[in-house]
């Protein structure tokens, strides 16, 4: 089967990303390494959200919770002197999966407006929980004691090494998500989104598949959280703020909902747009100082007029 144009574009992008560290070193612009690493970490989070949102049709407004859980897993373990990366990241994934299971068990049964509000409410609950625990900094947050250690294998303090770790995980998750979506499991999930009544009539019960997808998605996002805190070296409950959830959703939409390349394109687009609005010297001060106003307007316009997102501009498999 010949890959669709979209697949080529995605492969090309990943190759381009791989070329960044040497390029950045050659041009002596470490800033871009940092920026793109951040883009990729959010792309991982957006990919996880795309699974349940794009393919599952579940409008989860609480996804930032898992970024927070993953980050806190690393941060809290580090607080108690445990720096082993394998352990930290396993806990990040495991804890996120567990929380997703707990929240999902209650919320996945609902749909529509209820599901949106419930996922939002639970995320805020975790946010307030994070704020109220003074031990770990409360609402000020705390510094990461040390980066996750993978003794002998990789030193995350090396920017390029860390960059490639993130890139590898992104590529891996993109591949895994693709396989998941094409499998029987993915089909059942998409069928439930496409026509729930019919799915039931032919014998699918949507709940177990949706819950499983919800848990997988949460776990993936938990790893993104672990990566994020290693990137920022600082941990705050703001990771879990609902506006962050909104940003993740926008990345999925901007990039193209229900496509493989979408989350990466969307993360890049949104983060670069935010950076641009905040710091581009060509923009008047009135704009950069209140960039969120303009971002808000742009986002509204995108939703109203450009539903298919960036990936929609490139022909996909069925076109």
Partner 1 sequence: MNLILIAEQTLNGLQLGVTLFLIAAGLTLVFGIMNLVNLAHGALYMVGAYLGTFFFQQTGSWPLAVALALAGSMLVGVVTEVVALRTLYERDHLDQVLATFGLILFFNELVAMLWGRAAIFSTIPEYLSGHVQIAGGLSYPLYRLVIIGIGLAVALLLWWVVARTRLGMLIRAGASNRPMVAALGVNIRLLYTVVFGFGAALAGLAGLLVGPVYSVQPGMGELILIQVFVVIVIGGIGSIRGAFAGALIVGMVDTLGRAFLKPTLATVLSPTAADAAGPALASMLIYLLMAVVLAFRPAGLFRAVR
Partner 2 sequence: MSSPLLETVGLRKAFGALVATDGVDFDVREGETHAVIGPNGAGKTTFIKQLSGELQPDTGSVRFAGEDITRLPPQRRSRKGLARSFQITSIFHDFSTLDNVALAIQAYAGHSFRFWRAAREDASLIQPAMQLLKQVGLEGKAQVLATKLSHGEHRQLEIAMALATRPRLLLLDEPVAGMGTDESARMVKFLETLKGSKTIVLVEHDMDAVFSLADRISVLVYGRIVATGTPAEIRANAEVRAAYLGEEG
Give the interface with partner 1 as residue ranges (CB under 8 A).
53, 59, 61, 106-107, 109-110, 112-114, 116-118, 120-122, 124-125, 128-129, 131-135, 242-243, 246, 249-250, 253, 257, 290, 292-293, 295-300, 303-304, 307
Options 91-99, 155-163, 196-204, 219-227: segment touching partner 2 (CB under 8 A): 196-204
Interface with partner 2, residue 2, by CB under 8 A? no
Classified as helix, coil or strand, 4 is coil
Classified as helix, coil or strand, 142 is strand
The residues in 165-184 that bind partner 2, with binding defined as CB under 8 A, are: 179-180, 182-184
CA angle 238, 121, 62 (to 5 degrees): 60
Q: Which does 282 bind (CB under 5 to 8 A by kind): partner 1, partner 2, none?
A: none
Give the tokens for residue 89.
Answer: 């990241």
Within 8 A by CB and 6+ apart from 217, the residues are 48, 49, 51, 52, 60, 63, 66, 100
Near partner 2 by CB under 8 A: residue from 129, 168, 175, 200: 200
Give Cα separations from 153 to 86, 162, 165, 310 (angstroms): 11, 12, 11, 37
Q: Give yes or no for a contact between 52 and 60, defined as CB atoms under 8 angstroms apart.
A: yes
Total number of residues that touch partner 2 (CB under 8 A): 26
Q: Which does 215 bind (CB under 5 to 8 A by kind): partner 1, partner 2, none?
A: none
Interface with partner 2, residue 204, by CB under 8 A? yes
- Cβ proximity to partner 2: between 2 and 184 the closer is 184
Give the tokens for residue 170.
Answer: 């992104």
Q: Which does 90 bind (CB under 5 to 8 A by kind): partner 1, partner 2, none?
A: none
Q: Which does 315 bind (CB under 5 to 8 A by kind): partner 2, partner 1, none?
A: none
Quote the CA–CA distance of 113 and 36 in Å, as a whole number: 35
Quote the CA–CA distance of 236 and 201 in Å, as a whole number: 46
Quote the CA–CA distance of 273 and 90 in Å, as a whole number: 33
Q: Which does 117 bind (CB under 5 to 8 A by kind): partner 1, partner 2, none?
A: partner 1
Q: Which does 212 bind (CB under 5 to 8 A by kind): partner 2, partner 1, none?
A: partner 2
**Which residues lie near partner 2 (CB under 8 A)?**
179-180, 182-188, 190-191, 194-195, 197-205, 208-209, 212, 318
């Amino acid at each position: 089967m010949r890959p669709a144009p979209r697949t080529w574009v995605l492969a090309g992008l990943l190759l381009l990303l791989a070329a960044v560290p040497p390029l950045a070193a050659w041009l002596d612009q470490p800033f871009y390494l940092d920026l793109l690493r951040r883009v990729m970490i959010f792309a991982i989070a957006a990919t996880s959200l795309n699974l349940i949102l794009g393919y599952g049709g579940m409008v989860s407004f609480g996804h930032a919770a898992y970024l927070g859980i993953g980050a806190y897993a690393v941060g809290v373990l580090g607080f108690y002197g445990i720096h082993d990366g394998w352990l930290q990241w396993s806990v990040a994934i495991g804890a996120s999966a567990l929380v997703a299971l707990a929240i999902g068990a209650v919320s996945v049964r609902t749909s529509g407006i209820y599901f949106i509000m419930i996922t939002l409410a639970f995320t805020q609950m975790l946010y307030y929980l994070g704020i109220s625990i003074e031990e770990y900094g409360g609402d000020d947050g705390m510094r990461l004691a040390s980066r996750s250690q993978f003794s002998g294998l990789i030193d995350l303090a090396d920017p390029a090494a860390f960059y490639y770790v993130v890139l590898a995980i992104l590529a891996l998750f993109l591949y895994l998500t693709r396989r998941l979506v094409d499998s029987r499991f993915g089909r059942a999930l998409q069928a439930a989104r496409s026509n729930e009544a019919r799915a039931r009539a032919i014998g699918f019960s949507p709940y177990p598949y949706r819950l499983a997808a919800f848990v997988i998605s949460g776990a993936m996002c938990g790893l993104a959280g672990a990566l994020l805190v290693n990137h920022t070296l600082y941990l705050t409950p703001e990771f879990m703020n609902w506006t962050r959830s909104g940003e993740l959703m926008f990345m999925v939409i901007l990039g193209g909902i229900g496509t493989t390349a979408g989350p990466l394109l969307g993360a890049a687009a949104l983060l670069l747009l935010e950076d641009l609005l905040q710091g581009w010297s060509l923009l008047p001060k009135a704009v950069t100082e209140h960039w969120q106003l303009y971002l808000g307007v742009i986002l509204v316009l995108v939703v109203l007029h450009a539903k298919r997102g960036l990936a929609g501009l490139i022909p996909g498999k069925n076109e």
